[in-house]
Structure 1
Amino acid sequence: MKKTVCILTLLLISITAYSQQDKQMRSLDPGFVHTVYFWLNNPDNEDDQKQFEKAMKKFMKKSKHANTHYVGKPPKATRDVVDDSFTYALIVSFKNAKSQEKYQTEKAHLDFIDEAQSLWNKVIVYDSQGVKL
């Protein structure tokens, strides 16, 4: 009996974990994804990093069009196919391309650019629209 309870408990935990993982995987809005990579002028300068992060945080809090957002820094690459040369990555999702167009001219986005553009020397943007599989 004890063994059966243990097996059922482990099964329940596995199902719950799988269910949560599936929900997390679906949390990114599939309509339109805007991915931006930033290379700061002085990537190791802590003051520049703090200034950039402060501007980014303010921007993300005030954006009216971005549904979800993610900001990250590259881990040390362990494979040749991984580019770890950037300083920050920003991934923002939108309901659709029209929402992303509005975001481009919204005050929060333009203020972020004004506040932080002196900190970077290179930006690359990749936009993609969701594909139903």
Structure 2
Amino acid sequence: MRKIVVLVGFLMSIVIGTAQEKSNSQDFDDNYVHTVFFWMKDPTNEAANKKFEVSLRKFLDHSKYAKTQFIGRPPKASREVVDDSFTYSLVLSFESAAAQELYQKEEAHLLFIEESQELWDRVIVYDAMGI
């Protein structure tokens, strides 16, 4: 569990940096952060990974609620506290918990799940509200 917390903190710092660097993206909103880890059924299957990535990007391009977004793959772990067992990570920010609830029900999100759920073996979600 500690490994995941460290990883989430690291990914959030990347998202903040990435959001600040991209002039065409909105500012990172720390009101509500939604972090998702995916473990693919066959992480070495490039065709399945490509299908997942295309579906995920299509979904995010059409999401009405996610303010900032980061899609990542784990680097090779360099320290014992780093969990690199997942295949993909997704970090999104929202203006509020209410916006995140609307995102859960939006057509683009539901279509992504329908298109891609057969590809993953496990999904874990960590949501956090800014303090």
For normalisation by structure 2, the TM-score amounts to: 0.80
SS of match in other structure, 2:111: helix
Q: Structure 2: which 5+ residue stretches go unaligned?
A: 1-16, 22-26
Amino acid of the residue matched to residue 20 of structure 2?
Q
Amino acid of the residue matched to residue 118 of structure 1?
E
SS of match in other structure, 1:118: coil
Determine which structure has the larger helix proportion and give its number: 1
- Cα deviation, residue 52, structure 1: 0.3
Hey, what's the Cα distance between the residues in 1 that align with 2:106 and 2:61? 13
- Cα deviation, residue 24, structure 1: 2.3
- Cα deviation, residue 28, structure 1: 1.7
Amino acid of the residue matched to residue 83 of structure 2?
D
Match of 1:106 in 2: 106
Supply the RMSD in Å over aligned alpha carbons: 1.7
Q: Structure 1: which 5+ residue stretches go unaligned?
A: 1-20
Hey, what's the Cα distance between the residues in 1 that align with 2:32 and 2:58? 22
Hey, what's the Cα distance between the residues in 1 that align with 2:61 and 2:74? 23
- In the TM superposition, what whole-angstrom CA distance separates every residue of 1:7-57 from its partner, at most 9, and x where no partner exists? xxxxxxxxxxxxxx7x829x3211100000000000011001100000001
Match of 2:130 in 1: 130
For normalisation by structure 1, the TM-score amounts to: 0.79
Paired positions, count = 110
Question: Which has the larger Rg?
Answer: 1
- Cα deviation, residue 60, structure 1: 0.4
